[in-house]
Amino acid sequence: MKKFQTVLLLFTINLVISHHVFGRIDSLSTIKGHVFDEETGEPLAYVNVFFSNTTLGDASDDSGYFEIRFIPPGSYDLIVNRIGYEMRTISILFLEPITIDKNITLKPKPLVGEEIKVEAKEYKNWFNNLDRFNKAFIGETPNAKECKIKNPEILTFSTDPDTRDLIARADRILHIENRALGYYVDLILDEFRENEDYVRYGVYPRFIEMKTEDKNQLSLWKERRFKTYTGSLKHFLSAFANDRVEKEKFELYKGTRRISTQFDKTQIVTRGLKSLVKPTTIGLTPEQKKRGLKVIKFNDYLKVIYKGDKGEDGIKMYDEFFPTSFLLLKLNKAIVDSFGNLHSANAFQVFGYWSEHRIADTLPLDYLPE
């Protein structure tokens, strides 16, 4: 029996988009301003300024100026990053159309001079670790075959002496080319740990749509994006928040005990009991309720079967070849929005089908299925 990895979802997602205003220019916001060196006051060029997990972003010019337009209503994490400076994360809420002028300062990182010796054995180990990292981070799905890190040389690897976890770090932005879905992804790697039982990573990605005049290619990207969305965790959370779980062809079953890290088929205990978990607003603030957020809360774990599509691998799918996933709630509750975006970092531990979908199968938060 294949051992199933678990994925801890660590990246904070704070995007809420309103369908009825999306695309209306008079309902969208703008943020603009300058980026400066905190110590010298000099303007900084080539600073990446973007909203995490979206396609919204810009790079500062020679005067430090940046401008991001067409921002839908919602709550965002603005990421400001440049080599040699400490990254800044700024939470910004757009409730109505507005233009924000904001000057931002970045603090220089201290220069550390250290002589590094590279031996042949370490060089070989780096390639072995890179292969392991790609499988765990990019994934091994069909989309992963057309997804590639363009600058892997910036990655460094180490092993935790206590847990034997593989740890990956990058002091610059990882540039990823996903030709399966038609995105360039500029990604800040905040954390990565992996062993044979689990994968855990935290990222701040910016998605940039690939351009082409080939209508067939555009149609293929559109088709693949929709296929990636259907049956995904994002799809399920959207269906849940809108109380459309059954209509969207998901079936929920409740577990009777927690899943261990040594998760396998014999440890699934559902007894055929369907879960009656429903979206609520209990525990939300008035502002969160106004933004249409919902709470998902359940005991132990939730088994989710997507009956809209049959999988090809019966062992992987468990339930008559239908994609089957398991959620373990790590917090008291999780907060989601109607677009399937998670607003609670570290909320879930994911097992089964969804756990095999990594960066190659990640869509931007402002992706809307047509």
pLDDT per residue over 42-66, tens digit each?
Answer: 999 999 999 988 889 999 999 999 9
For the whole model, what pTM was predicted?
A: 0.79
Residue 275 has pLDDT above 70, yes or no: yes
Residue 246 pLDDT = 94
With pLDDT > 90 as the criterion, what percentage of the chain qualifies? 52
Two tokens, residue 97: 């159309």
CA dihedral over 272, 276, 278, 283, signed as positive or negative: negative
Residue 314 has pLDDT above 60, yes or no: no
Q: Which long-range contacts (CB under 8 A, 24 or more apart) does 243-246 make?
A: 243/278, 243/279
Q: Quick one: which of 108, 114, 192 has its CA closest to 158?
A: 192
Higher pLDDT, 246 or 273: 246
Average pLDDT value over all residues in the chain: 83
Neighbours of 118 (CB within 10 A): 8
